Amino acid sequence: MSGSRCQTLYPFTGERHRQGLRFDAGEVLTVLQVPDGGWWEGQKEDGLRGWFPASYVQLLEKPGMVPPQPAEENQTSFLPPGWQSYLSPQGRRYYVNTTTNETTWERPNGSPRTPSSPGTQRNFQPATVNGYHSSGTPVHQSEPVHMSLRKPTGDFQNPGSPSPGKKQSKESTITINCVTFPHPDTMPEQQLLKPTEWSYCDYFWADKKDPQGNGTVAGFEILLQKQLKGKQMQKEMSEFIRERIKIEEEYAKNLAKLSQNSLAAQEEGSLGEAWAQVKKSLADEAEVHLKFSSKLHSEVEKPLMNFRENFKKDMKKCDHHIADLRKQLASRYASVEKARKALTERQKDLEMKTQQLEIKLSNKTEEDIKKARRKSTQAGDDLMRCVDLYNQAQSKWFEEMVTTTLELERLEVERVEMIRQHLCQYTQLRHETDMFNQSTVEPVDQLLRKVDPAKDRELWVKEHKTGDIRPVDMEI
């Protein structure tokens, strides 16, 4: 995949990441490295290199499909106002009206409000709602939405008609805990960041009601709890292994002690040797189990216990950071609401003054209207600025969420892999223990095969005989 080209889907500042690559949505990068873990290295057209989350880009299957950037810019520059040109994952160009969210495969020529809809290929036309396209076409969110934010500002000078932006907002978005989401009804096929991977960064933007019913839990908090629980599990496994170690040590101690027992120590000959080996084999078994417990300690218990010693602290830091961004988002949302209220008041004031003008035409009133209109425009600009700040905060939060959840994913994979490896090590040690244990019986078996009652008798008779002679009949 290295050497391929990809198109960026979202703007990425990269500022919180060493060697992070800053880019806007829609840029084309050359992919340099694609190691596991979700972070790729890429190079921009201007030669700048850096790292970015793989989920921020869309691979271009055939690099040749993308026309050189200047050519595209040229094409874009000739589009009617409000229209943008994009590439489908298949490399086919299509057009999006960022104001009305209309899409078409054909290059629009008419006015932006009446784009020609795709003809014969209607079934395949990319559907887009509020910046999200159904699967099969690349996702464009930040860029188009930023566009839609700026376009309707002129409408504040035409207060009689409701602004398309506000109308659209009411219809297709909902706000949960100060965060604006697309309305579920309008998102039947929302494109996910990593649709095949069940990535954390796709499913934890919203908050969740606390199971106890009081308050809500942030999605990120749930992810974090998962990690902390994982850490806890790993610690508990380590404790479990420690208990096992204790059992093994106790067992080994008992076997070793019994091995020293003098029972039947006086058995003689080859049977005596075999019996002595039976007893010795218990000491061997004890050693095997001691070795098992000592290896369990060094190769399973300790690594499990020490893996990510400062994990909780790191997670807390991470949590604070996200929480701060979340707070900023909330305060900026409050500013937006305040500015929105101020604008409403200014508009009411302007409306009232306009009505007064209709009743009695005075010079002073006309100036009042001018002043009110200026203030209304100012309030509109304030709201715009507040929305801008809110959107900036959300963009930061978005980036932080994506990169952090990516990191959490990596950590989780690492944790599962680490535990898996150490449990494999555990079973490996168990296997070895059984094998070594079996080998302790081998010398016993050998000596048992050599047990020879005749030889034993010979040895015993030689040692204990009372003489070589047998009695003879007495003679007179």
User: Hey, which residues between 154 and 213 contact its own copies (CB under 8 A)?
Assistant: 163, 165-166, 168-169, 173, 179-182, 184, 187, 190, 192-193, 197-200, 202-208
Alpha-carbon gap, residue 129 to 276, rounded angstroms: 85
Contacts 24+ apart (CB under 8 A), 228-231: 228/311, 228/312, 228/315, 230/412, 230/415, 231/308, 231/311, 231/312, 231/315, 231/415
50 or 141: whose CB is closer to its own copies? 141
Shortest spacing between CB 27 and its own copies, in angstroms: 19
Shortest spacing between CB 111 and its own copies, in angstroms: 22
338 in contact with its own copies (CB under 8 A): no
Question: Which amino acid type is present at position 15?
Answer: E
324 in contact with its own copies (CB under 8 A): no
In the shown chain, the binding pattern of residues 417 to 446 toward its own copies, with x for contact by CB under 8 A and - for none, equals x-xx--xx-xx--xx--xx-xx--x--xx-
In the shown chain, the binding pattern of residues 250 to 289 toward its own copies, with x for contact by CB under 8 A and - for none, equals xx--xx--x--x-xx-xx---x--xx--xx--x-------
456 in contact with its own copies (CB under 8 A): yes
Shortest spacing between CB 360 and its own copies, in angstroms: 34
Q: Reduce the DSSP state of residue 357 to 3 states and report it.
A: helix
Residues 6+ apart with CB under 8 A from 52: 8, 12, 14, 20, 21, 23, 29, 39, 40, 42
57 or 419: whose CB is closer to its own copies? 419
Both tokens of residue 473? 């009949």
87 in contact with its own copies (CB under 8 A): no
Which range binds its own copies by CB under 8 A, 1-9, 29-37, 366-374, 393-401? 393-401
361 or 454: whose CB is closer to its own copies? 454
307 in contact with its own copies (CB under 8 A): no
469 in contact with its own copies (CB under 8 A): yes
Based on its alpha-carbon atoms, the radius of gyration of the chain, rounded to whole angstroms, reads 39
Residue in 74, 240, 316, 338 binding its own copies, rule: CB under 8 A: 240
Both tokens of residue 109? 């020529």
Shortest spacing between CB 97 and its own copies, in angstroms: 15
Alpha-carbon gap, residue 266 to 243, rounded angstroms: 39
Alpha-carbon gap, residue 398 to 213, rounded angstroms: 27
363 or 466: whose CB is closer to its own copies? 466
Shortest spacing between CB 258 and its own copies, in angstroms: 5
Question: In the block, which residue shows the tokens 């059984």?
Answer: 434
- Ordered strands of the 39-43 beta sheet: 49-53, 39-43, 28-33, 5-8, 57-60
